[in-house]
Structure 1
Amino acid sequence: MKLGVEKSTPKAFWAKKTPPRVVCGRGKTFLRQKRTAQILPPIRMVLLGLKYCAGVTIIGSIIDMGLHMGICFLTLVVSLPSLKPPTCGKNVSYLDCDKRASSLQIGVFYCALYIIAIGTGGTKPNISTMGADQFDDFEPKERAHKLTFFNWWMFSIFFGTLFANTFLVYLQDTSGWGIGYGIPTIMLLVAIITFVFGTPLYRHKPRGESPFTRMAKVLVATTRKWNTSVPADPKELYELTLDEYASPGKYRIDHSSSLSFLDKAAVKVDGPASGWDLCPVTQVEQTKQMIKMIPILCATFIPSTLMAQTHTLFIKQGTTLNRHIGDFEIPPASLSVFVTISMLISLAVYDRLFVPFVRKYTKNPRGITLLQRMTVGLIIHIVTMIVASRVERHRLSVVKEHGILTMKQIVPLKIYILIPQFALLGVADCFLEVAKLEFFYDQAPEGMKSLGTAYFTTSLGVGYFLSSFILSTVANVTKKHGHHGWILNNLNASRLDYYYAFYAVLSSVNFLFFLFVAKKYKYNAEVTNVEQESKEDIGKITEQSYVSG
């Protein structure tokens, strides 16, 4: 519920037909700044959440209250006359509107957005980790159910998105923004209360050291012993005894050959040594696991930029088309509902039909590996941009045929022509985004799971930064030497078909990079205790759950 409510906040940028110019004219900038502001908060909140993991409910409540305060501010902005920007008037296009919001109004609006961004940035990496941590890896039945957790976790998020893209946008467009934001404000408060009262039912992880501190110790110890040779036998490296790992929440990880230079941190030294001079093998392996995911993380930046296209250029394309279905006009903000519906359907089909069918041949409890699932999503992304380019070329041909010169004129094409690219993005997200979240969680070591899911959020945030950079760079470069330029304020005079084709090529190059790093990547070995569990038993339990479900 909380994440679904958060999804409703960006819709204000496009929901109204004639909003104040300050909102529409800077809508894309506001949205991208809000998204990119979510990069650093996840890292800070992971530090806080893992350092005081025993009090995760208290920390989560504080973060949620911050998010709730931001949405309350946003509700006040659209409700109080003194904070509302001046309206353009009836039947006045925002392109013709000369009204401007005051510095105070803009300041409060920005403040609300950034408070929401900080609250969301603190919620996203921790709440999904907490949900997955409720399953016991040492119980085969629970571990089998955990394999489908992220599918249905993402399903619930996008179900909330569907609510935001339809019902809330409709209320904002018909009853006013005060009602449109008042409802999610109340819903979020109910969600926070429910979260707090559920505290006795949660499985709480014991307090642990910050993952950044643990990783820093390994890097510092490695640097201090850079000239030290690593023994040929890994058993000679420093490691705690099994008894010391017997306490709950501690797991021993076997030595691996990857990133072997970090093994210097575990080379025994003469005399007493602090944690900054000598680290156990398990701690070194944890650091290795987080570092070796970075190339995969980098390969997800370009795909994340495509999500920005959905909220900006794709929707702006829709504003140029005929959006009427009888007497009803589809609000621009609701166009992304096609992505949501497509993803909801794809997730259900994937989890209930695709996985059981493929598992019979692959013998993998997940059906296919996480990297294979991400590969499929990347391929669909490339296809999406090719389709978007062809559709835009057709739209521009109709623009030329009818002599349409300005954005005020509606292109005589139904909004339906954009459905394929929206739907394909939904299918791509079903494969890529879910697998990306599960991959970073699954491959992160115990005690660093929230940092792993923060990789996922960071991927999205960097993607929005890159989207803005790529958009401005392409717009500036294509205008040089007297050229018309590909990206103009007037889409009917732009060449978005070239821009989308460029994205298809860029995505293809990124796809080759992903294949390279994915081939080099080695999945983590199971921790010593879990390794004893039978994968066949888990597969049988998983299959039985699908049959009974």
Structure 2
Amino acid sequence: MAAFRRSGCDTETPLLDDTVEDVVDYEGRPAVRSRSGGWRSAAFIIGAEVFERFACYGVRSNLINFLTGQLGQSTAAAAANVNLWSGTAWLLPMLGAFVADSFLGRYRSIIFASLVYIPALGLLALSALLSPGGFKSVLFFSSLYLIGVGQGGHKPSLQAFGADQFDGKDPEESKAKSSFFNWWYFGICTGILLAYLIVCYIQEDISWALGYGILFVGMVISLVVFWIGARTYRYTNIKQDESSPFARIGRVFIAAFRNRRFSPSAIPTEEESHKALPPQSYEQFKFLNKALIVPVGLEEDEKMHCTIDEVQDARCLLRLVPIWGTCVVFAIVFAQSSTFFTKQGATMNRELISGFEIPAASLQSFNSIAIVLFVPVYDRILVPIVSSFTRKPSGITILQRIGTGILLSILTIVVAAFVETKRLKTAQEYGLVDMPNATVPMSMWWLVPQYILLGIADVFTMVGMQEFFSEQVPTEMRSMGVSLYLSVLGVGSLLSSFLISAIDKITSGFGQDSWFSTNLNRAHIDYFYWLLAGICAVGFVAYLYFSRSYIYKKV
């Protein structure tokens, strides 16, 4: 229960030990711990995310089938377009995070992004009603990329805002924050699963326009749920009298470069900074220490001064670069689940009961089911068991968690390669090589292991990346931390698109069938999967090398 004292105006004012440092409530007063934030606020935020992911994946999951069916694109062109849009949508949060952290704040960014997102979904539904033609394509792709803009502002801000509801300096709330990321991802996958099971069926068997219209309603509900919780949230103010964290960190790099010719002994706070930091941290990226030097004659210019904390923040960002780069291999595998995994399923026997066939895109629901089932197992069973041996509250370190997921993603793509080889052999045995529209007599259940493996890998790597990038960036840049995790997925999608386009061009030369032939019975997606397995294995080795030397930021 909150503790209060009486003020002279006979009003109740919360005692200082019950307030949360550096945050305010809905009315701009110091936030009272017992009356704001925590799981009460997180429930509204996770609820809003469930409906936003429902809307997002209702578009993304079946996009390749809309492009090949409604717009008449080839398999290779559609897969490249899906990856290009996905990559752009995953990268736009970098811009959204900058705006949120520097200008608008997270709450306003979420509201404004929703007001872009909702009309874009309405336009997408309208485009599905139009007859095939140039205007239909223009309106569809314009709406699609406008949705990406909405996601760019919404995604990093909402997750960072959710993390803001827990005080990392309080032991109980710090433990709850780690659990929050698990349940956040549980909520994400609940929304995605609903999209796979409901929207994909409506789009393929009833109406694309109706399917997209339902997504419009879902996003409206997301905004309403988020708004209802407004009075319970904790808000971090954007301090207008201070420069943005991006400007301050940028100044460190500029100062370090400007002072590159100075000897380390010229650093006035050399001894102080050396004592204030762990030896490993001080020695890492030591050239940044030169940002502490103030050139003679410029001592009065405050803009020329960099503090030890600002230099440390710059170090934090540099440490993330190799981890970020090596995590991209996971994202390349992740990109295949909504493209070639789906096209594989479209050629196979998907009859669940007599007369009812599961839509190919709905096969992705096995991925979400695996996540929804495994998150509670991980959070409530595996973590306590492992922590009893490791003495770590989270069981294993965040980087160990991410690495486990990358390893499982390699296993996923290897299994997918074997299954695709089996599918091609079955098509040959039944004389279906030149019958692309015929159903290969091979059950869809063959695809389930690769979806389940990818789902379990997601619980390790995706949740791990969310927590890692959110916690390891400077506190004021938490939205940017979330966007860094999303940008991993964006770069992975773009690299996948590049690989598909390049390999399609190379393998289709000299009159041969491309690895990505529209007739999948003549294609060789299995070769592509083996190539990805090799790339991911190299990336995993690099990840192990960089993660072993990583120095965690103290949260």
Question: TM (normalized to structure 2)?
Answer: 0.84
For the 8 Å contact 1:255–1:282, the answer to whether it is kept is no
For the 8 Å contact 1:70–1:112, the answer to whether it is kept is yes
Equivalent in 383, 394, 405 of residue 355 of structure 1: 383
1:10 aligns with: 60
2:183 aligns with: 152
Identical columns (%) = 31
Residues 76-126 of structure 1: per-residue CA shift (max 9 Å, x gap): 2224xxxx23xxxxxxxxxxxxxxx32211111111101100111111111
Equivalent in 30, 34, 46 of residue 97 of structure 2: 46
> What is the CA-CA distance between 1:518 and the residue it aligns to?
0.9
The CA distance in 2 between the partners of 1:34 and 1:400, in whole Å, is: 34
For the 8 Å contact 1:68–1:185, the answer to whether it is kept is yes
Distance 1:114 1:274, change over 3 A: farther
Distance 1:400 1:255, change over 3 A: closer
> What is the CA-CA distance between 1:347 and the residue it aligns to?
1.3
For the 8 Å contact 1:13–1:23, the answer to whether it is kept is no
> What is the CA-CA distance between 1:255 and the residue it aligns to?
6.7
The CA distance in 2 between the partners of 1:282 and 1:106, in whole Å, is: 51
Residues 316-365 of structure 1: per-residue CA shift (max 9 Å, x gap): 11111111122111111111111111111121211111101101001111
1:371 aligns with: 399
Distance 1:20 1:233, change over 3 A: closer
Residues 199-230 of structure 1: per-residue CA shift (max 9 Å, x gap): 22211112144332122111111111111122
For the 8 Å contact 1:14–1:332, the answer to whether it is kept is no
The CA distance in 1 between the partners of 2:348 and 2:245, in whole Å, is: 50
> What is the CA-CA distance between 1:39 and the residue it aligns to?
4.5
* Stretch of structure 1 that moved more, 407-416 or 157-166: 407-416
Aligned residue for 1:195, secondary structure, equals helix
> What is the CA-CA distance between 1:231 and the residue it aligns to?
3.5
The CA distance in 2 between the partners of 1:480 and 1:22, in whole Å, is: 23
Q: Is the aligned partner of 1:336 residue 2:387?
A: no
The CA distance in 2 between the partners of 1:22 and 1:224, in whole Å, is: 56
**Aligned residues: CA RMSD:** 2.4
2:245 aligns with: 211
Matches within 5 A, 1:257-406: 257-271=283-297, 272-274=299-301, 276-325=303-352, 326-404=354-432, 405-406=434-435
> What is the CA-CA distance between 1:485 and the residue it aligns to?
4.4
2:258 aligns with: 224
Aligned residue for 1:37, secondary structure, equals helix
The CA distance in 2 between the partners of 1:32 and 1:119, in whole Å, is: 18
Equivalent in 223, 230, 236 of residue 199 of structure 1: 230
The CA distance in 2 between the partners of 1:215 and 1:481, in whole Å, is: 53
**Residue identity matched to 1:335:** L
> What is the CA-CA distance between 1:484 and the residue it aligns to?
4.8
> What is the CA-CA distance between 1:496 and the residue it aligns to?
2.1
> What is the CA-CA distance between 1:413 and the residue it aligns to?
0.7
Q: Is the aligned partner of 1:71 residue 2:121?
A: yes
The CA distance in 1 between the partners of 2:120 and 2:302, in whole Å, is: 41
For the 8 Å contact 1:302–1:463, the answer to whether it is kept is yes
1:541 aligns with: none
For the 8 Å contact 2:109–2:157, the answer to whether it is kept is no
Residues 231-275 of structure 1: per-residue CA shift (max 9 Å, x gap): 399854788xx9xxxxxxxxxxx9733111011111244442545
The CA distance in 2 between the partners of 1:424 and 1:194, in whole Å, is: 33
Residues 496-524 of structure 1: per-residue CA shift (max 9 Å, x gap): 22221121111111111111111121112
**Residue identity matched to 2:203:** Q
Distance 1:410 1:262, change over 3 A: same
The CA distance in 2 between the partners of 1:298 and 1:314, in whole Å, is: 25
1:490 aligns with: 519
2:160 aligns with: 129
The CA distance in 1 between the partners of 2:139 and 2:68, in whole Å, is: 21
2:219 aligns with: 188
> What is the CA-CA distance between 1:427 and the residue it aligns to?
0.9
What count of residue pairs does the alignment treat as equivalent?
A: 493
Residues 396-435 of structure 1: per-residue CA shift (max 9 Å, x gap): 1111111212311211111111111111111111111110
The CA distance in 1 between the partners of 2:63 and 2:89, in whole Å, is: 18
Aligned residue for 1:522, secondary structure, equals coil
**Residue identity matched to 1:57:** Y
The CA distance in 1 between the partners of 2:330 and 2:216, in whole Å, is: 31
Aligned residue for 1:412, secondary structure, equals strand
> What is the CA-CA distance between 1:58 and the residue it aligns to?
2.4
Aligned residue for 2:264, secondary structure, equals coil
Q: Is the aligned partner of 1:429 residue 2:463?
A: no
Aligned residue for 1:285, secondary structure, equals helix
The CA distance in 2 between the partners of 1:413 and 1:475, in whole Å, is: 26
1:256 aligns with: 282
The CA distance in 1 between the partners of 2:500 and 2:213, in whole Å, is: 34
Residues 265-324 of structure 1: per-residue CA shift (max 9 Å, x gap): 112444425455221010111011011101111001121011221111111111111111
For the 8 Å contact 1:125–1:450, the answer to whether it is kept is yes
**Residue identity matched to 2:286:** S
For the 8 Å contact 2:62–2:338, the answer to whether it is kept is no
**Residue identity matched to 1:228:** F
Distance 1:109 1:303, change over 3 A: same
For the 8 Å contact 1:302–1:466, the answer to whether it is kept is no
The CA distance in 1 between the partners of 2:86 and 2:67, in whole Å, is: 23
> What is the CA-CA distance between 1:483 and the residue it aligns to?
5.6
The CA distance in 2 between the partners of 1:47 and 1:111, in whole Å, is: 24
> What is the CA-CA distance between 1:14 and the residue it aligns to?
5.1
2:16 aligns with: none
The CA distance in 1 between the partners of 2:252 and 2:409, in whole Å, is: 38
Question: TM (normalized to structure 1)?
Answer: 0.85
The CA distance in 1 between the partners of 2:53 and 2:516, in whole Å, is: 33
For the 8 Å contact 2:86–2:490, the answer to whether it is kept is yes
2:23 aligns with: none
For the 8 Å contact 1:407–1:491, the answer to whether it is kept is yes
- The gaps in structure 1 that reach 5 residues or longer are 86-100, 243-253, 527-549
> What is the CA-CA distance between 1:22 and the residue it aligns to?
3.1
